Structure 1
Amino acid sequence: MKKEDTNITDHLIKLEDNLDLYLGQKAGIARTHNSLAYVKYLLGSNEEALTNLKKSVERTKDCYGDNCDERLIVTYGNFAWLHFHMKQYAECKSYLDKLKEIKEQKQPVSTFDVHPHVIGEKAWALFKFSRKYYNRAIECFRKALELEPERGEWNAGYAIVLCRIETKCTSPEDSSAIQQLRRAIETNPDNDELKLLLALKLAEFKLFDEAEDLVERALDKSPDSPYVIRYVGKYMRNYGQSVDRSIGLLKRALEVTPNSGFIHHQLALCYKKKKQEFCSLSDSQKFLQLCISHLEKAITLKSGFIFAMTDLAFLYGEDGQIERADEVFQTALSTAEDKTEDRQAVYLHYGGFQEYRKKCETMAVNYYMKCLKMAPDTRYGIKSAMNLRKIADKHLSKNVNDTWALGILEIIEQVKGGNQSTSENCVHLLESTCNEE
């Protein structure tokens, strides 16, 4: 895994937060210490890397007892690898000898050349390190499940990564994530995080009865787990009846993990919803400032948090801080780089900022078009097309022959119809209009 494929500082903070989030889950803590060791190595802190590997061994033995050599294959391999890079060849050889002993004691369990625990841990490592590695992680989880179909760890990891990448489904039956979450819960009946992920997915299809039952069961069983609290808070905000309850839960989670950018972002979204519920200027302003405060904290803790950045920029605009909002949007664009989903999100929100805060329709159209052109069938592409149609329809209601508005509608049809060369010419014409203005 390459350092340039992730924001290494943000990744380090996230892993350190995980040590608190996992609480009594020793297996998860052991895996996190392994990942921390690799990050420390990348940062040139070899002694700290060794310390984390030792802690990984301790947690694994605490969890599974002394007879857990197979679960230590990856950690022993990491020890050998790290000692080799530190030119400590005697220590390297001692760990290689341990691996040899384990291999001789355990006959291969399948035709695969790699041990199932190795391929499963590889899947988790890829998944945790970078979004760029999600497809590779999926491939590894599938291989691990071919070897050990009943193994809860591999079923859980596979379900979680499917949740991260799944975007467009017409029904719960079409959702691979929902099917795998159900399978993962069967093999991990005590994992309340999986129940909440399933609840959030079911709620997308308005299956609220089952979803709310899962939420209540998870919260009753794990009322102090930050992982559970943050997902319950998200569910309450999006689908529940009480934003105040969501805020209370998230504040509890923040007491355990004060450096979680995710929880600060969720709190900001809750206060944003509260702001929309109140009509008085003083209440609205109070909740606006709370939103801004938590979003500023979120992007400080997690510098590459694109969605928090776009939310913050938009709220800066609402607060009258137009120049500051522009700066954050530009930073978000440079941070998103070649990540299609992130860049689309920035284009969509920047278009809204241009339309509603700067009152510049042509620039708004420019950014909506950029978003649409990148990927018309994603949620951001679809939303951009809706915004573009709304602008065009407004002009056509005043003049049915408005060529600019008709041009916008033509581009939408051409982009969605796949006529790329023609649509690119039209987009260039619109962009030149925006630049002239």
Structure 2
Amino acid sequence: MTATTLKTRLLQLNCHFTWGLLEKDGEIDEIEERLHNQLEFLVSENKYMVYNLLAYVKHIQRDYTESIANLDEAERNCLSTSNGSNCKLLAIYGNYAWVHYYLNQLEKSQLYIDKVNNVYKKLKQTKDPNDIPEIYGEQGWSLLKFNRIYYEKAKDCFEKALKEAPEDPEWNSGYATVVYRLESFQNIKCPDQKCESLKLLKKAIELNPKDSVVKALLGLRLQDLRRTKEGLKYIEEALEQTPNLPYLLRYVAKFYRRAGMIDEALDVLKTAVGLIPNSGFHHHQLGLCYRSKMLEKKKIANSGYQNKRTNSREIQELIQKAIFHFEMGLEFKKTHVYAYIDLANMYREANKCKNAEETFQNILSFTKLTDEEKQQIHFNYGNFEQYNNKSEKEAIRHYKEALLIPGTSRDKNKCENALKKLAERKVTRDPTDASGFSLLGFVYKIQQKSADAIECYEKALKLDPYNEEYLSNLCELKLAI
């Protein structure tokens, strides 16, 4: 078989090489680190999926010796837990075929294509070979672990897997997890009866009561729904089951921190960092805890109930601890956008304005920012310019940038409010300042209050009749009506 013909057959295989996992979409070194940690700490019959994805990651890194070694482990793990079913081997054999193709070992590649075909031949006797839940489920988990931009595709995969195997614990856990993440990522707020992830997480726990991580996710979702006491019950159950599982501890700490149990969160996170010292997530969470303690101390200091000198020293110590952990977190997770924003804001607290400026500039140069991330950066950068650099002009520029980005978020709303306050202050301070009315008109335009926006731009034009920007906006608004 020629290399061209072989490539055509390889593209028909159902495995990581054909699932659209693009190198440009993943932080490959970080994914590799996470997968190694999972192999060390996760106790599961499905470790073969971790080895399989790791083999694909090694292909991206052009390390084919390690890629083959991981596929060997995947096959070994799969054969020892498959209970006579060969369906789980399909993606492994497909990956083998691709790796040997890249090594120019065409005969070996052909051999694994034949192995895939043999599995399908046996399957045809009992089921439709196009509806294999093991394939859809593994694809779902791989997409889920690779990048959040694949969450919708992962959800579709789990739905297909569950259509064929509705009571499978692994696919139910995967489906519940991805729906939970999508709701969190998209900032979806809904009442209990309409919260999709709530039902799915409960079902996943019923099917697999030993899954402590899913239990923790349920606890967090209940906390989101203001059912903290009920959520705490699941958190404590999960912690009792696997007290030394880092992936559980991250969620337990998050629950405690949001519940105001900061010392408990710190204890849990210190245990987690002891287990995985290079976890960017855990260090970021530690930074958030120290920030919470710092804010509480500042509140007490402002109330005047404690010795000011002692309180000031303690506040500075907490700021430095928060900075240390935010910086450490970014050492290990260099693309964690929200950690950069938290670090920049903590530099502000420490009066390290140059560091804050550099940090904001750094994240704005990232090429893979979501609209929500951009809005949050511009809101915080605008705050920094307004209150630290005392530059109204630059603050306005950042708030406007956020408002021009499509989609709504909490930070976009904050920018809207901040801009409106600045505009109203400018108008009150100097009623002859056309820019104040123009700015107010811009806010009303964003809010789709056309009549108010037209009125403001007309006032601005009266004060500055030859301003092209004001005239352009006014014409656009009137034409739209």
- Conserved in 2, the CA contact under 8 Å of 1:373 and 1:381? no
Q: CA 1:259 to 1:84, structure 2 compared with 1: closer, same or farther past 3 Å?
A: same
Structure 1 residue aligned with 2:361, among 307, 330, 339? Answer: 330
Could you say if the C-alpha distance between residues 83 and 152 of structure 1 is closer, same or farther in structure 2, counting changes exceeding 3 Å? same
Q: Is the contact made by 1:108 and 1:115 (CA closer than 8 Å) also made in structure 2?
A: no
Q: Which amino acid aligns with 1:91?
A: K
Matches within 5 A, 1:168-187: 168-187=188-207
Look up the match of 2:14: none
Q: Matched residues in 1 for 2:372 and 2:127: separation? A: 39
Structure of larger gyration radius: 2
Whether 1:249 aligns to 2:268 is: yes
Could you give the per-residue CA deviations for residues 249-288 of structure 1, whole angstroms, max 9, x where no partner exists?
A: 0010111111110111001000111111224111111111
Deviations 1:167-200 (A, max 9, x none): 2223122322223222322333221111211221
Match of 1:313 in 2: 344
The partner residue of 1:271 within 290, 295, 308 is: 290
**Structure 2 CA distance for partners of 1:61 and 1:255, relative to 1, 3 Å:** farther
Decide whether the 8 Å contact of 2:87 with 2:135 is kept in 1. Answer: no
For the 8 Å contact 2:123–2:129, the answer to whether it is kept is no
Whether 1:410 and 2:441 are equivalent positions in the alignment is yes
TM-fit CA distance, 1:148 = 1.6
Structure 1 residue 393: Cα displacement: 5.1
Distance apart, 1:104 and its partner CA: 2.4
Q: Note if 1:364 corresponds to 2:395.
A: yes
For the Cα contact (< 8 Å) 2:386–2:394, is it kept in 1?
Answer: yes
* Candidates 255, 258, 261, aligned match of 2:280: 261
Native 8 Å contact 1:318 1:357 kept in 2: no
Offset of 1:297 from its aligned partner? 1.1
Deviation at 1:319, TM superposition (A): 1.6
Amino acid aligned to 2:167: E
Mapped to 2, the partners of 1:7 and 1:55 lie a distance apart of 23
On the 8 A contact 1:376/1:382 being kept in 2, the answer is no
Structure 1 residues 257 and 101 mapped into 2: Cα distance closer, same or farther (>3 Å)? Answer: same
Q: 1:45 aligns with which of 63, 66, 72?
A: 63
Give the C-alpha shift of residue 4 in structure 1.
1.1
Tell me the residue number matched to 2:217. 197
Cα distance in 1, alignment partners of residues 242 and 92 from structure 2: 30
Aligned to 2:234: 214
Does the 8 A contact of 2:371 with 2:407 survive in 1? no
Q: Under a length normalisation based on structure 1, what TM-score does the superposition of the two structures give?
A: 0.88
Matched letter for residue 62 of structure 2: G
Q: Structure 2 CA distance, aligned partners of 1:165 and 1:389?
A: 32
| Structure 1 stretches lacking a partner, 5+ long | 431-437
Q: Residues 276-305 of structure 1: CA distance to partner in whole angstroms, max 9, x if unpaired?
A: 122411111111111111111111111111
Q: Matched residues in 2 for 1:371 and 1:204: separation?
A: 26
Take 1:109 and 1:355, find their aligned partners in 2: how far apart are those partners? 68
Change (3 A) 1:87 1:367: same
1:285 is matched with which residue? 316
Provide the secondary structure at the position in 1 that maps to 2:365. helix
In the alignment, does 2:135 pair up with 1:118?
yes
Q: 1-side partners of 2:202 and 2:440: how far apart?
A: 43
Q: CA deviation at 1:58?
A: 2.8
Q: Quick check: 1:336–1:342 contact (8 Å CA) kept in 2?
A: no
In structure 1, what is the equivalent of residue 44 of structure 2?
25
* 3-state SS of paired residue (1:106): helix
Q: Tell me the TM-score normalised to structure 2 length.
A: 0.81
Q: Which moved more, 1:203-212 or 1:377-386?
A: 377-386
User: Which stretch of structure 1 is more off in the superposition, 128-137 or 32-41?
Assistant: 128-137
SS at match of 1:223: coil
Q: Hey, what's the Cα distance between the residues in 2 that align with 1:2 and 1:376?
A: 26
Distance 1:386 1:110 in 2: 59
- State the 1:307 CA deviation: 0.6
Change (3 A) 1:337 1:416: farther
Q: What SS does the corresponding residue of 1:288 show, helix, strand or coil? A: helix
Same amino acid, percent of matched pairs: 31
Distance change in 2, residues 1:399/1:182 (3 Å): farther
Whether 2:26 is the aligned partner of 1:6: answer: yes
Distance 1:170-1:417 versus aligned 2 partners, 3 A rule: farther
Asked if 2 retains the 8 angstrom alpha-carbon contact of 1:126 and 1:134, the reply is: yes
Amino acid across the alignment from 2:31: H
- When residues 191 and 333 of structure 1 are mapped into structure 2, their CA distance, relative to the original with a 3 A threshold, is same
Cα shift readout 1:119-169 (whole Å, capped 9, x = no counterpart):
221121122112222222222222222222212222222222222222222
State the AA in 1 paired with 2:408: D
Contact conserved, 2:98 with 2:109, CA < 8 A, in 1?
A: yes
TM-superposed deviation, 1:415: 1.6
Change in 2 beyond 3 A, CA 1:109/1:269: farther
Secondary structure in structure 2 of the residue aligned to 1:245: helix
Distance 1:103 1:10 in 2: 35
In the alignment, residue 156 of structure 2 is paired with which amino acid? E
Letter of the 1:147 counterpart: E
Out of 375, 378, 389, the residue aligned to residue 409 of structure 2 is: 378
SS at match of 2:226: coil
1:325-377 per-residue CA deviation (whole Å, 9 max, x = no partner) reads 11111111111545212222211221222222222233222212222221352
Q: Distance in 2 between matches of 1:142 and 1:109?
A: 22
Distance in 1 of aligned mates of 2:199 and 2:98:
38
Q: 1:80-159 residue pairs with structure 2 within 5 A?
A: 80-107=97-124, 113-159=130-176
Which piece of structure 1 moves more, 255-264 or 204-213? 204-213
CA 58–330 in structure 1, closer or farther in 2 if over 3 Å, else same: same
Matches of 2:208 and 2:83 in 1, distance apart? 23
Q: Structure 2 vs 1, CA of residues 372 and 21 (structure 1 numbering), >3 Å: closer, same or farther?
A: farther
Contact conserved, 1:10 with 1:304, CA < 8 A, in 2? Answer: no
Q: 1:376–1:80: structure 2 CA closer, same or farther, 3 Å change rule? A: closer
Greater alpha carbon shift after TM alignment, 252-261 vs 78-87: 78-87
* Residue of structure 1 in register with 2:377 after alignment: 346
Counterpart of 1:77? Answer: 94
Please tell me the residue identity of whatever aligns with 1:318. Answer: E
Aligned partner letter, 2:57: V
The corresponding residue for 2:329 is: 298
Specify the SS of the correspondent of 2:238: helix
Shift of the alpha carbon at 1:405? 4.6
Alignment gaps of 5+ in structure 2:
1-20, 302-310, 461-467, 471-481
